[in-house]
Each structure stands twice: as C-alpha cells, then as structure tokens.
Amino acid sequence: MTNEVIKKLSEAALNVRKKAYCPYSGFAVGAALLAKSGEIYTGVNIENAAFTPTNCAERTAFFTAIAKGERDFVAVAIAGGKAGEEPEDFCAPCGVCRQVMREFCGDAFVIILAKPGEEKVYTLKDLLPQSFSPRDVLGEKAKR
C-alpha cells in the first residue's frame, strides 16, 4: 500500500464524513473503501430514531460496493469524531463492522484510521484475530 493511496483514501473518508446523518449521537463517521477494481466507494453512518436500525459508515461503504457488483477489496479508511468539527482522535471500526469486513476480505485487508494529516495503518488480522469466516461454515469451497 503506497503512501499516496493511504492519503487518497483518508481524504475521501474525511470528506464524505461531512454527509453523516447522526442527529442522535452527534458523532459523524466517514469511510472510503478501495475495491480491487480500483473503484472507491464511500459511506457514512446513518442513524435512526429507533436507534437499532443505525448503520455504521464502514458497512454503508461495503454494502454500496457489494450492490455495485464488487466482491474483492484492498483497503478501507475510516474517520470519525464530533459532527461539525474535524476529528481529534482516531476512530476504530466497531466489532460488527469488523465481522462484515471478514465476510469479504482476508487477513491482509488494510484498515486505515484517519484524522487530518495523520493515519494509522492496520490489517484486518490485527483488528480481528482468530476470526470466524465463511470458510468455517462453507469449508474449502469458500473464497475466504
């Protein structure tokens, strides 16, 4: 993963974050997902008055990409913090989103935590060790 790609994805996550729908938490998150095709899919968190239907930014980006026919991914950048301000801290993906990533990505998938001018880079294996994957259910015929 080049520094240029890391910066490009981070900027896309910071930028789309401004479109988050988060009236209840006031915590805005943006995600930018790079598919193996080269296409970048963005997502924001979308909250709901009933709370539980809330969708995280990461899953919004993944589900958008999947609906476009993508199945293979390289990296995701995530930026989150108080709505209306630039993020002060890094925002790590929640456990549900990590599991959704595992459905479509292997251990080497790159997860970039972004704030203005600074990034931390991890792999999915770093953030979801000893994972439960499609192979555990489908056996060898599973892609991952």
Ligand X SMILES: O=c1ccn([C@H]2C[C@H](O)[C@@H](CO)O2)c(=O)[nH]1
Residues tagged active-site:
58
**Shortest distance in whole angstroms from residue 18 CB to ligand X:** 14
Please count the CA atoms within 13 angstroms of the CA of 17 that sit on its side-chain side: 28
Distance between CA atoms of 21 and 15, rounded to whole angstroms? 14
Q: How far is residue 10's CA from residue 22's CA, in Å, rounded to a whole number?
A: 20
Using CB under 6 A as the binding rule, whether residue 87 contacts ligand X is answered as: no
Among 57, 61, 65, 101, binds ligand X (CB under 6 A): 57
Provide the b/e sequence for 1-12 (b: ≥16 CB within 10 Å). eeeebbeebbeb
User: Applying CB under 6 A, does 30 fall inside the site for ligand X?
Assistant: no
Answer for which of 17, 65, 81, 93 binds ligand X (CB under 6 A) is 93
DSSP letter at 18 equals G
Please indicate if the annotation marks 91 as binding a ligand: no
- Residue 121: how many other CB atoms lie within 10 Å: 16
- Under rule CB under 6 A, residue 80 binds ligand X: yes
Interacting residues with ligand X (CB under 6 A): 22, 25, 27, 29, 45, 47, 54, 56-58, 78, 80, 91, 93-94, 97
Interacting residues with Zn ion (CB under 5 A): 56, 94, 96-97
